[in-house]
Amino acid sequence: MTDFTMKKDADGVAIITWDVPGKSMNVLSEDGIRELDALVDDALADDAVKGIVITSGKPDFAAGMDLNVLGGMKEKGGAEAIFGLVMQLHGVLRKIERAGMDPKTLKGGKPIAAALPGTALGIGLELPLSTHRIFAADNPKAKIGLPEIMVGIFPGAGGTTRLVRKLGAMGAAPLLLEGKLNDPKKAKAAGIIDEVVDDPVAAARDWVLNAKDADIVKPWDAKGYKMPGGEPYSAAGFMTFVGASAMVHGKTLGVYPAAKALLSAVYEGAMVPFDQALKIEARWFTNVLMNPSSGAMIRSLFINKEALEKGANRPDVPDQTVKKVGILGAGMMGAGIAYVSAMAGIQVVLIDAKQESAEKGKAYSAGLLDKAISRKKATEEKKSEVLGRITATTDYAALEGCDLIVEAVFEDPGVKAEVTKKAEAVIPADAIFATNTSTLPISDLAKASSRPEQFIGIHFFSPVDKMLLVEIIKGKQTGTRAVAKALDFVRQIKKTPIVVNDARFFYANRCIIPYINEGIRMVGEGVNPTLIENAAKMMGMPLGPLQLVDETSIDLGVKIAKATRSAMGDAYPDGAVDAVIFKLFEEGRLGRKSNAGFYDYDEAGKRQGFWNGLEQNWPEANEQPELTEVQHRLMFAQTLEAVRALEEGVLEDIREGDVGAILGWGFAPWSGGPFSWLDMLGAARAVEICDKLTATHGERFKTPALLREMAEKGQTFYGRFGQQKQAA
C-alpha cells in the first residue's frame, strides 16, 4: 500500500502521483511523508530526470493532513514528537523548493511543478507552495486554501511562512486568519497559484522541461528579497503589524490561541531568514497543538462532527434514504425545511391550510435561489430544477407516496394531532412521521399517531438553511427504523445530527434557556448590562444573553416562562427572571421584531445602546461583580444543564453534547463544547466553582452528583464516557 508513486518518462520528467488507497480524498500520513521524501530523493539523484511534476490520482489533489495523526502524535510523544514531525515535513518541502540547486549560485536545481486537478486544502496546498510553479485545472468546484484556523490550528507545514513571504502579511491575512477558500481562478488572481489550465499535468510537464535556473529560485531565496508590505519594523510594516494584532485580538476576543500563535509565527518569522522562519512556525504550531483548545476543537469540529454525520449513532437497519418528503405547515420553518430538502434532490410536498400560504412557503426557496444566482452561486436552470421538486398545495392527498413527513405547524398539541391524523390517513404504512416541535414532548404528540414506533422528533433550528445542527428526538416508543430514517434524511440535507431522548426542551434549548435567564437575572440584580454581554462574548459566545433574547423575542421568553411555571408550580425557580422580562413585555418591548428590547434599535432595525429603562428599573449596583464571576454564572448555567441532560439520559453521547452545543447555539467553539470545557477546567475545579456559585446564587448551580463523583475519582468526561462510547 503506497500513497505516492513515481513514473519517469522518456523526456526525463518524473511524475509523482499522490493516490492514497481506499480513500476518496488524499490526506497526508507519516508514511506518506516518508514515501514522498524517498521519491524526491530518487528523482533529484537520477541524472536522467530533468524535472518533476507532483499530481494526484484522484479528482482532487488533497484534503490536508490526517488530523488523527496529529492527535496521535500529541498523545504519544508530546511536543517533541510534534515538533520533530513538523521539522521532518519542512525538510522534505524545503528539499523540493531547493530542488538540488547550489545554495550559493542558485544554479543546477531541477524544476518541480504541482498539477492540481481539483481541491487542494491545508497540506494539499502547502506542498504545492513548496514547488516552483502551481498549475490548477479550470475546475470551478475546486477549493484552494488553508482552512486550518477553522479547527483551531494554523498552517504549520510552511504554508504560513511561504504565503506571507509571497503575498505580504496583509495579502496573506484573509487566507490564513479566516481560512478563506478560493476557486482556481480566484486563487490565481490572489497570487496563490500560478496557472489555471485545461490539463494541468501536461502544462506542468511542459513547464518543467523548459524552466531555466532563474525560474526555480523563490524570491525569498534570491538576494535582496524584501517582504511585500514590509517587515514589522519598516515604516509601512509597523502600521500593518500594529493593526494586525489589534484586529485579531478584537475579533477573537482573546479566546482563540491559534490566531495569536499564527500572528506570532508571522511576526517573528518576518525578521529572520527563511529556514529560521520555518523553525519558528514549527514551534508555534507545536505550541498550538499542545494547547487543549486546539485538541478539543479538532475533536469536536472535525473528528466527532464527521463521525456523527457518518452515522456514528445510527441503528443498524438498512438504508432509509428519503425520496419524497411531506412538509406540514409552510411557515418559516416549513419553508426552510422544504428548501433544504429540495436542494438535496428530494421531492417535496409543502402543505398549508391556505394555498396562498403554501405558495408563499415555496416562494421562500425561490428567494434564496435568486440571491444565490445574484451571487453567482446558482443558475436559472438550478433554480427551476429545485423549484420543480416542490409541490405547494392544501391537498393532503398529495402526500401519497411520501416516505417521510415533517410536521411544522403551530405549536399547539390539538392542531398537531389533527394534521398527524390527516397525514397518516394518506401516507404509506411504513412512512415515518416526524414533528419539528421545539417545546412539546414527543411522546405526548405521538399519542395522536396510529404508529408511535414510526413517530419521531426532528428539531430544526432557525434559519433552517443556515443552521448546521438538527436535533433528533426519540419518544418513548420511537423505533430504530425511525431513528435511522431521520439520520439518513439529515445526512441527505448535509446537516449534522444529534440524537437525544424526550425531555423538556430536549438538549439545545434546555441549555440555552438557563444561559439567557442568567443574563436577565443579572440585569435584575443591577449588574452592568455591558459587563454581562461582554463577559459572555469574552468566553467565546457569539451573542450575549440579552442580545440573544432580543433576537429570539421576548414574548417567546414570556410564553416559555408561563408554560414552565404552570408545569412546575411552586418549584419554579425563575421568578427573578420573570420580574425583568415581564416588565419589558408589558412595555411592548418584544425584542428585535418590535425594534425594542433590552436594546434600542433605530428605524432601520440597527441595534443601538441599551434601553435606558434598564437603568431606571434596575439601577446599576455600586458593587459590580468580577468579570470571572459573571462568566462562571453564564457558562455554568449552560454546562450544568448539559451535565444534567447526560445524567438523566437525555443525552446518550457526550460527543453529541459537545458538537450539538457548538453548532446549535454557538457554545464557545474554542472550548470544543461544554464537556470539553469542563474537562479543560477539571472536574475538581468545576465542583469548587459550582459550590461557590450555589452558596452565593442558589440551588440552580447545585453540583450534579455525576460531576462530584468525577471530581472525587479524578475523572474527565472524555476519559469516562469517550472511550466507552467509541467501543460501543
Among 238, 421, 647, 713, the residue binding other proteins under the rule CB under 8 A is 238
Taking the complex as a whole, the smallest distance from the CB of residue 518 to other proteins amounts, in Å, to 16
Which residue number, 283 or 485, has a Cβ lying nearer to other proteins?
283
Taking the complex as a whole, the smallest distance from the CB of residue 263 to other proteins amounts, in Å, to 4
Strands (E) across 329-416 are located at: 347-351, 390-393, 404-407
CA distances from 595 to 87, 288, 530, 602, 611 (A): 56, 43, 19, 7, 11
Taking the complex as a whole, the smallest distance from the CB of residue 246 to other proteins amounts, in Å, to 4
Among 260, 389, 416, 655, the residue binding other proteins under the rule CB under 8 A is 260
Among 241, 433, 461, 618, the residue binding other proteins under the rule CB under 8 A is 241
Q: Using an 8 Å Cβ cutoff, are 493 and 466 in contact?
A: no
Any alpha helices (H) in 526-673, and if so which ranges? Answer: 529-537, 545-552, 554-568, 575-586, 612-617, 627-647, 654-665
Site string (120-159) toward other proteins, x via CB under 8 A: ----------------------------------------
Q: Is 219 in the site for other proteins (CB under 8 A)?
A: no
Angle between helices 554-568 and 575-586 (to 10 degrees): 140
**190 phi, psi to nearest 5 deg:** -80, -5
Which range of residues in 12-20, 186-194, 257-265, 450-458 is near other proteins by CB under 8 A?
257-265
Which residue number, 597 or 722, has a Cβ lying nearer to other proteins?
597
Q: Using an 8 Å Cβ cutoff, are 667 and 674 in contact?
A: yes
Taking the complex as a whole, the smallest distance from the CB of residue 703 to other proteins amounts, in Å, to 27
Helix and strand counts by DSSP (H, E) for the chain: 30, 20
Which range of residues in 104-112, 239-247, 320-328, 438-446 is near other proteins by CB under 8 A?
239-247
Which residue number, 249 or 371, has a Cβ lying nearer to other proteins?
249
Which residue number, 250 or 414, has a Cβ lying nearer to other proteins?
250
Q: Is 354 in the site for other proteins (CB under 8 A)?
A: no
Any alpha helices (H) in 153-303, and if so which ranges? Answer: 159-177, 184-189, 200-210, 235-252, 257-269, 274-290, 292-297
Taking the complex as a whole, the smallest distance from the CB of residue 693 to other proteins amounts, in Å, to 19
Among 69, 79, 247, 579, the residue binding other proteins under the rule CB under 8 A is 247
Taking the complex as a whole, the smallest distance from the CB of residue 197 to other proteins amounts, in Å, to 38
Which range of residues in 73-81, 142-150, 229-237, 405-413 is near other proteins by CB under 8 A?
229-237
Ramachandran category for residue 220: left, alpha or beta (phi over 0 → left; psi -120 to 50 → alpha): alpha
Angle between helices 274-290 and 257-269 (to 10 degrees): 170
Q: Is 228 in the site for other proteins (CB under 8 A)?
A: no
Among 233, 476, 494, 712, the residue binding other proteins under the rule CB under 8 A is 233
Compute CA 232 distance to the chain's CA centroid, rounded to the nearest angstrom: 33
Beta bridge partners of 328: 351, 407
The residues in 518-557 that bind other proteins, with binding defined as CB under 8 A, are 528-531, 534-535, 538
Task: Name the active-site residue from 90, 132, 459, 697.
Answer: 459
Among 123, 244, 369, 500, the residue binding other proteins under the rule CB under 8 A is 244
3-state secondary structure of 195: strand
Taking the complex as a whole, the smallest distance from the CB of residue 77 to other proteins amounts, in Å, to 25
3-state secondary structure of 585: helix
Which range of residues in 67-75, 247-255, 577-585, 652-660 is near other proteins by CB under 8 A?
247-255
Compute CA 6 distance to the chain's CA centroid, rounded to the nearest angstrom: 37
Beta bridge partners of 547: none
Dihedral Cα 566, 569, 575, 581, nearest 10 deg: 0
Half-sphere exposure of 570 (CA within 13 A, CB side): 0
Q: Is 627 in the site for other proteins (CB under 8 A)?
A: yes
Q: In this structure, what C-alpha cell is assigned to residue 483? A: 431513528
Q: Is 250 in the site for other proteins (CB under 8 A)?
A: yes
Which range of residues in 174-182, 261-269, 456-464, 698-706 is near other proteins by CB under 8 A?
261-269
Q: Is 243 in the site for other proteins (CB under 8 A)?
A: yes
Which residue number, 247 or 576, has a Cβ lying nearer to other proteins?
247
Cα first-last separation, the chain = 29
The number of beta carbons lying within 10 Å of the beta carbon of residue 518 is 24
Which residue number, 246 or 425, has a Cβ lying nearer to other proteins?
246
Taking the complex as a whole, the smallest distance from the CB of residue 628 to other proteins amounts, in Å, to 11
Q: In 3D, which of 360, 445, 447, 347 has the Cα closest to residue 398?
A: 347
Q: Is 248 in the site for other proteins (CB under 8 A)?
A: yes
The residues in 567-626 that bind other proteins, with binding defined as CB under 8 A, are 609-610, 624
Sheet holding 13-18, edge to edge: 4-8, 13-18, 51-56, 112-116, 133-137, 195-197
Taking the complex as a whole, the smallest distance from the CB of residue 677 to other proteins amounts, in Å, to 20
Among 32, 64, 152, 232, the residue binding other proteins under the rule CB under 8 A is 232
Which residue number, 359 or 620, has a Cβ lying nearer to other proteins?
620
Q: How many residues bind other proteins (CB under 8 A)?
A: 33
Which residue number, 232 or 361, has a Cβ lying nearer to other proteins?
232
Which range of residues in 134-142, 243-251, 416-424, 571-579 is near other proteins by CB under 8 A?
243-251
Q: In this structure, what C-alpha cell is assigned to residue 544? A: 450575549
Q: Is 249 in the site for other proteins (CB under 8 A)?
A: yes
Taking the complex as a whole, the smallest distance from the CB of residue 261 to other proteins amounts, in Å, to 8
CA distances from 220 to 164, 223, 229, 240, 557 (A): 11, 8, 14, 20, 59
Q: Is 280 in the site for other proteins (CB under 8 A)?
A: no
Burial of 24 (0-12, 13-18, 19+ CB in 10 A): exposed
Q: In 3D, which of 500, 485, 487 has the Cα closest to residue 431?
A: 485
Taking the complex as a whole, the smallest distance from the CB of residue 466 to other proteins amounts, in Å, to 25
How far apart CA 472 and CA 457 sit, in angstroms, is: 5
Which residue number, 63 or 263, has a Cβ lying nearer to other proteins?
263
CA distances from 280 to 238, 240, 283, 427 (A): 20, 20, 5, 64
Query: Which uninterrupted H or E stretch holds 324?
Result: strand 324-328
Which residue number, 253 or 332, has a Cβ lying nearer to other proteins?
253
Q: What angle do CA 467, 149, 236 make, to 5 degrees?
A: 125
The residues in 683-722 that bind other proteins, with binding defined as CB under 8 A, are none
Taking the complex as a whole, the smallest distance from the CB of residue 254 to other proteins amounts, in Å, to 6
How far apart CA 649 and CA 656 sit, in angstroms, is: 12
Q: Using an 8 Å Cβ cutoff, are 153 and 265 in contact?
A: no
Among 23, 107, 141, 251, the residue binding other proteins under the rule CB under 8 A is 251
Among 4, 154, 267, 433, the residue binding other proteins under the rule CB under 8 A is 267
Q: Is 459 a catalytic residue?
A: yes
Which residue number, 183 or 518, has a Cβ lying nearer to other proteins?
518
Q: Is 242 in the site for other proteins (CB under 8 A)?
A: yes
Which residue number, 79 or 255, has a Cβ lying nearer to other proteins?
255
Q: Is 236 in the site for other proteins (CB under 8 A)?
A: no
Catalytic residue positions? Answer: 459
Residues in touch with other proteins (CB under 8 A): 232-233, 235, 238, 241-251, 253-254, 260, 263-264, 267-268, 528-531, 534-535, 538, 609-610, 624, 627
